[in-house]
Structure 1
């Protein structure tokens, strides 16, 4: 079998406008499959088929490439969450439950290895640019869910948003740790119960 590196486009034949994309696409595949530290720069250069000088022109340090990778993952995953929520209809409460359909789809995908941001956080030290980017992603997701909770009329939007993001992250982790894609369905069912409970009007004291 011919290795991916052997079939990569030679650097001299790679148009300058495509070089960065080739590097990033290769890094996206290797970082997710192998981990941020296990996927080395030399391997990424070889499999992307670009010259070393070209690589460092676009990504002077490995962390620059990791941040670009996380930015792309953010766009993909956030887009999937929003699409799943919107597919549930216009009711914000239904969207809070519907967004978990993206989790079900993710956990059933071939090569699924959990949340790229949780994985990245586990490999990066607190206070670094990479770790800060993972925290920012999680904060952005929780802020979006909180906004839906507010529009749904939740009694405590902050608590509901935190609870749902914990279920979301737990489902992402369980999907790979248990090797059971049904973990996502369980997370979605728990989310539905949590949303329903948060919207109930508390009894009026006598």
Structure 2
């Protein structure tokens, strides 16, 4: 797992702030939405609260986002870029050179994330469960979860693992399961998943 001196994950708020220009009203709304949706989900956050905390007029809000769902979709897109691509996959690739090591490093990143006081679990899983798989936001969450599997599958292909798509689906079960276990309070779930992940790599090695 993680050793002292390795790169650390920044808090969710600072990740968003680094990529968003707060002077822009649309980006300010999106920055507030990022903080609220990632922590509280969709239904608990109302449009009036979003408007008030963003410091914009109602007309300005609806000019940028015609509906709350359109804002959630923008949040999911931003979450995918900042969290999945930059923070999780990006840092895993920085921590190792070989594809199999990069795959295992995902759980090193997870282990650090799980021990943080601001651990907020996976927004894609949360919104999928909150809204359901037939709701447009649930469908969008399913799509972003599939993108995560795509990153894993690409690394599996680079590593020359057998049946990379099946591997990615099994690996994703370990990722999602460790997140749920961490939400239950098991801060060691990443290391447990990492051990099983090593077995999975061996099983798919040619």
TM-score by length of 1: 0.83
CA contact (8 A) 1:142 1:161 kept: yes
Report if aligned partners of 2:89, 2:151 keep a CA contact under 8 Å in 1.
no
Residue 87 of structure 1 corresponds to 94
Identify the range of structure 1 (46-55 vs 78-87) with the bigger mean alpha-carbon deviation.
78-87
Alignment of 1:126-205 (within 5 A): 126-177=133-184, 179-199=185-205, 201=206
Q: Highest Rg: 1 or 2?
A: 1
Are the equivalent residues in 2 in contact too, given 1:81–1:100 (CA < 8 A)?
no
22, 30, 33: which one aligns with 1:24: 30
> What residue number does 2:116 align with?
109
Tell me by how many angstroms 1:193 deviates.
2.1
Say whether the 8 Å CA contact 1:104–1:181 is kept in structure 2: yes
TM-score under structure 2 length normalisation: 0.83
Number of residue pairs aligned between Structure 1 and Structure 2: 185
Residue 161 of structure 1: how far off its partner (Å): 0.9
Give, in angstroms, the shift of residue 168 of structure 1.
0.4
User: Which fold has the larger relative contact order, with Cα–Cα distance below 8 Å and residues 6 or more apart in sequence?
Assistant: 2
Does the Cα contact within 8 Å between 2:133 and 2:142 map onto a contact in 1?
no
Determine helix, strand or coil for the equivalent of 2:24. helix
Query: How far did residue 92 of structure 1 move?
Result: 1.3
Whether contact under 8 Å (2:22, 2:28) holds in the other structure is no
**RMSD between superposed Cα atoms in Å:** 1.9
Unaligned runs of 5+ residues in structure 1 are 1-14, 202-206
Higher mean displacement: 76-85 or 159-168: 76-85
Q: In the aligned structure 2, how far is the partner of 1:198 from the partner of 1:90?
A: 20
Q: Structure 2: how far apart are the matches of 1:81 and 1:35?
A: 20
